[in-house]
Amino acid sequence: MFLKLAWLNIWRNKRRTLITTASVFFAVLLAIATRSMTDGVYENMIHNVVSYSSGYLQIHQKGFWDEQSIDNTFEADEKLSQILLNNPDVEHIMPRLETFALASYLEKTKGVLILGIDPEKEKEVNNLHEKISQGKYIETINDNAVVIGEGLATQLKLKANDTLVLLGQGYHASSAAGKYRVTGIIKLGSPELNNNIVYMPIQQAQYLHGAENRLTAISIMLNKSSSLDKLKTTLQMDLDTDTYEIMSWKEMMPEMDQFITADSTGHYIIIGILYFIISFGLFGTLLMMTFERSREFGILIAIGMRKRLLAIILLLESLMISLIGCLAGVFGGFLVVLWFTKYPIYFTGELKEVYENYGIEPIIYFSNNQNIFIVQTLIVLMLSVILAIYPGLKVIKMKPIEAINS
């Protein structure tokens, strides 16, 4: 009965109810679209950065992060790989051997980052083969060839099929020197990588440094980035932490994590202001509905109706108005998110160049994380309950004689 009464009451003034529900609808729609877009941008930015560098999680020899030397490597272990691949949260694992060396071509010499990789796995995760601007990608894990960054190729003034000389320190102070055919030149979004990177098959990198079957790290890519903390905890229990150290991208790249946290705070403030504005509209509607019916409430109280029941009816009215607008907003937000997850926004021109210079794809993806929809619904319902408290208290304190004569 209370639900029916509340439903009939909110449609006494259809125009006012429709205006209020419309304001809730647009607020929820904008909040969902904004949150989905920012989360999508963050997820894409994180994926781009970690896929080329650390992975969402990285396993390395204990102490390697403090002293990143080729002497702090560990032996590749099939059992370790199986533990990782058997975990449903793990999408890919990428064994890597990362060292520094001098690269030389004719009279030019430059310090470079050598990254020993599994070409097929990196191809699958990073689409490195699609970023080749000259020549071709590394074909096999045993290919005696390298792919170098476009910026590095420009500085050394070499092109595809030229020979690059690498000189550095090998495992346990041995010397590392070798000649390699530059099979391709790659254009990466990150200027730092573009100017310094030398990709080579991991077995060739191990042979060059006298570190056969040894790795500096295993980078782990996840099916869902939200499972990061859970997976890290699980792996810490499964692995020998006296031998291995497990770090998340947040620990290895705290600057990016801090940037995302600060930027998210700004977006939360904007959404908070949006909800603060619609709260005034909803609060005004509830007050008007209460004052307009003061005489009616006075009569009901005089004939014996409990004030508490009238307050409950007001609460139900507040929830109904909010719920109509909220559900419509969630449905509209779902359609917007569905469209942009299927057809993301592509940047062109100068904006595209700015994104690429920072190593970020010039694309805005939208996140379809269901928590976005749930959180906005809960916020609106919580506001409805809070805003109904004052009108409810007015009714509870109402004196029947004064209300009837008002």
146 has a pLDDT exceeding 80: yes
Its pTM stands at 0.77
226 has a pLDDT exceeding 80: no
Mean pLDDT over residues 184-198, rounded?
84
pLDDT at 147: 93
292 has a pLDDT exceeding 70: yes
CA-to-CA distance for 214 and 126, rounded, in angstroms?
23
Pairing between β-strand 197-201 and β-strand 108-117 as defined by DSSP bridges: parallel
Candidate from 137-141, 216-220, 292-296, 342-346 with smallest mean pLDDT: 292-296
**319-363 pLDDT, tens digit each:** 888 888 889 999 999 999 999 988 888 877 777 776 666 666 678
The gap between the terminal CA atoms of the chain, to the nearest Å, is 27
31, 274 Cβ separation under 8 angstroms? yes
pLDDT at 70: 86
Candidate from 14-18, 25-29, 300-304 with smallest mean pLDDT: 300-304
Number of neighbours of residue 104 by Cβ within 10 angstroms: 17
Name the region of 153 (left: φ>0; alpha: ψ -120 to 50; beta: rest). Answer: alpha
Residues β-bridged to residue 285? none
Pairing between β-strand 175-186 and β-strand 132-135 as defined by DSSP bridges: antiparallel
Q: Tell me the CA distances in angstroms from 229 to 66, 178, 225, 406, one per residue in order.
A: 22, 41, 9, 60
DSSP states of 142-181: T-SEEEEEHHHHHHHT--TT-EEEEEEE-GGG-EEEEEEE
pLDDT at 160: 87
Mean pLDDT over residues 40-67, rounded?
85
Name the region of 349 (left: φ>0; alpha: ψ -120 to 50; beta: rest). Answer: left
305 has a pLDDT exceeding 80: no
**70-87 pLDDT, tens digit each:** 888 888 888 888 888 888
247 has a pLDDT exceeding 80: yes
CA-to-CA distance for 369 and 101, rounded, in angstroms?
43
**Residue 365 tokens, joined:** 């993806």
* Contacts (Cβ under 8 Å, ≥6 apart) of 402: 298
Tell me which H or E stretch contains 59: strand 57-61
Pairing between β-strand 90-105 and β-strand 108-117 as defined by DSSP bridges: antiparallel
34 has a pLDDT exceeding 80: yes
- Percent of the chain residues topping a pLDDT of 70: 96
pLDDT at 1: 67
pLDDT at 276: 86
Task: Compute the C-alpha angle 355/359/362, nearest 5°.
Answer: 35
Number of neighbours of residue 30 by Cβ within 10 angstroms: 18
Helix axes 389-396, 307-342, angle to 10 degrees: 170
pLDDT at 332: 93
Candidate from 120-129, 349-358, 377-386 with smallest mean pLDDT: 349-358
